[in-house]
Amino acid sequence: MPDTMQATARAVGADVALRVESLTIDIRTKSGVAHIVQDVSFTVAKGEFVGIVGESGSGKSMTLMNLLRLIDNPNLNVSGHVWFDGEDLLALPAKRLREIRGGKIAMIFQDAMTALTPVYTVGWHIAEQLRAHRALSRRAARERAIELLTEVGIPSPELRVDSFPHELSGGMRQRAVIAMALACDPKVLLADEPTTALDVTTQAQILDLIRRLRTVHGSAVVFVTHDIGVISDSADSILVMYAGRVVEQGRTVDVLAAPQHPYTQGLLGSIPTPGASRLTSQLVSIDGSAPTPSEQVVGCAFRPRCAYAFDKCFTVPALRPREGQADDHLDACWLQRQAQMDLRIEAGS
């Protein structure tokens, strides 16, 4: 079994909410095939909060949207498996998938308006969700909508239920969308930068709300953000994406305590001192920009920006656990593997 699969395979069982295996997304363009997402695998345990981080263009949204096959583009080729409740979402008939979308798996976006139709009220949207997945009378759906608006902290919910989306602030709209997402008690909530468009205070409130709802409803959360700081306190585990690949993944405590990939270290703004037991908080910035999917970088995609690149980096490093690290903490970097080999040679073992 490839190393990348070991961690996921171990976690398979009754406690798994979602398991993504080798998700790969290509797009046919005029100038050829562009690789947008390559070989992404991860497991989301029931009730777990998984964060996906990486700079803009790294393939986070494409990964998330394609878990539910939300992008209808004939030039897109999606392969791999997305296991949910014993079914592969990538292989399900469209009708069955529609039942799961918004029901057992809900999604919220950066722009709450994406999920809202301007001419309908907040209450209508929530009632639609309820009636699509549950047999509820109109009256019962409205009552449940008011309950949900209360739960997500919208003031005067009996009045707000009749508001139109444009009558709410950005933060209140995002709360309303979360109420819609929760209408069917989803097993998994997929969130694509849901706080990015909001001011810092509102951002913290929405994140807090998602965390709280997760505790109350037991839903797992997959939270995508370009800002590792947003989820570092909330996520149980983290995937770091760069140019369509996962370059590091593991439990958040492990990744934060000992980031292995130079890109993760750059994101965290600190680099470990070799041999030191703690991180030194030395600020580093990552110069340059990530390659686009149509730009082919030979070997590791981070190589042109990496201060440590050496000859081995012209080959793509596999995502693997490293000696001395937790075995579910994986990284795709040659650097310390080489350093460990050198140490062994020096020690004569």
Ligand X SMILES: Nc1ncnc2c1ncn2[C@@H]1O[C@H](COP(=O)(O)OP(=O)(O)O)[C@@H](O)[C@H]1O
Q: How far apart are CA 162 and CA 177, in angstroms?
A: 15
| Smallest separation, CB 108 to ligand X (Å) | 14
- Output 36 or 148, the one with its CB closest to ligand X: 36
Of 176 and 241, nearer to ligand X (C-beta) is 241
Side chain identity, residue 101: R
Decide: 126 and 148 in contact? Cβ < 8 Å: yes
Among 4, 19, 57, 220, binds ligand X (CB under 6 A): 57
Choices 11-19, 49-57, 176-184, 314-322; region in contact with ligand X by CB under 6 A: 49-57
Residues 47, 51, 117: CA angle, nearest 5 degrees: 85
Alpha-carbon distance of 260 to 289, in angstroms, equals 20
Pairing between β-strand 220-225 and β-strand 237-242 as defined by DSSP bridges: unpaired
| Cβ at position 73, least distance to ligand X in Å | 6
Using CB under 6 A as the binding rule, the residues of this chain from 253 to 292 that contact ligand X are 292
Give the C-alpha separation, 43 to 9, whole Å: 9
Select the residue interacting with ligand X from 58, 225, 260, 336 (CB under 6 A). 58
**Interatomic CA distance for residues 195 and 304, integer angstroms:** 31
CB of 273 to ligand X, least distance (A): 31
Binding residue for ligand X, selected from 56, 117, 273, 282, defined by CB under 6 A: 56
The least distance separating ligand X from the CB of residue 29, rounded to whole angstroms, comes to 6
**Min dist. Cβ of residue 56 to ligand X (A):** 4
Residue 101 is given by DSSP the state B
Among 40, 62, 105, 222, binds ligand X (CB under 6 A): 62
Contact flag: residue 301 with ligand X (CB under 6 A): no
Instruction: Answer for the pair 87, 272: CB distance below 8 angstroms, yes or no.
Output: no
| Per CB under 6 A, 315 contacts ligand X | no
Q: Does 210 bind ligand X (CB under 6 A)?
A: no
Taking the complex as a whole, the smallest distance from the CB of residue 43 to ligand X amounts, in Å, to: 21
* Residue 203 binds to ligand X (criterion: CB under 6 A): no
Q: Convert residues 11-30 into a mask of x (bound to ligand X by CB under 6 A) and - (unbound).
A: ----------------x---
Q: Which stretch binds Mg ion (CB under 5 A): 25-33, 56-64, 80-88, 282-290?
A: 56-64
Under 8 Å between Cβ of 145 and 123: yes
- Give every CB contact of residue 256 below 8 A, 6+ residues apart in sequence: 232, 268
**Least separation, in Å, of the C-beta of 28 and ligand X?**
9
* DSSP summary character for residue 120: S
Binding residue for ligand X, selected from 4, 8, 61, 260, defined by CB under 6 A = 61
- Pick from 36, 116, 145, 148 the residue near ligand X by CB under 6 A: 36
Residue 325 touches Mg ion, criterion: CB under 5 A: no
How would you classify the pairing of strands 49-53 and 237-242?
parallel
> Any alpha helices (H) in 68-108, and if so which ranges?
94-100
Phi-psi region of 153 (alpha: psi -120 to 50; beta: other; left: phi over 0): left
Question: Is residue 63 involved in binding Mg ion (CB under 5 A)?
Answer: no
Cα separation of 204 and 195, whole Å? Answer: 8
129 versus 174: smaller Cβ distance to ligand X:
174
What's the Cα-to-Cα distance from 99 to each of 65, 94, 145, 175, rounded to whole Å? Answer: 16, 9, 20, 23
Pick one of 38, 61, 121, 203: the residue that binds Mg ion (CB under 5 A). 61
Q: Please report, as a single letter, which amino acid is at residue 229.
A: G
Residues near Mg ion (CB under 5 A): 61
Residues near ligand X (CB under 6 A): 27, 36, 54, 56-62, 73, 292-293
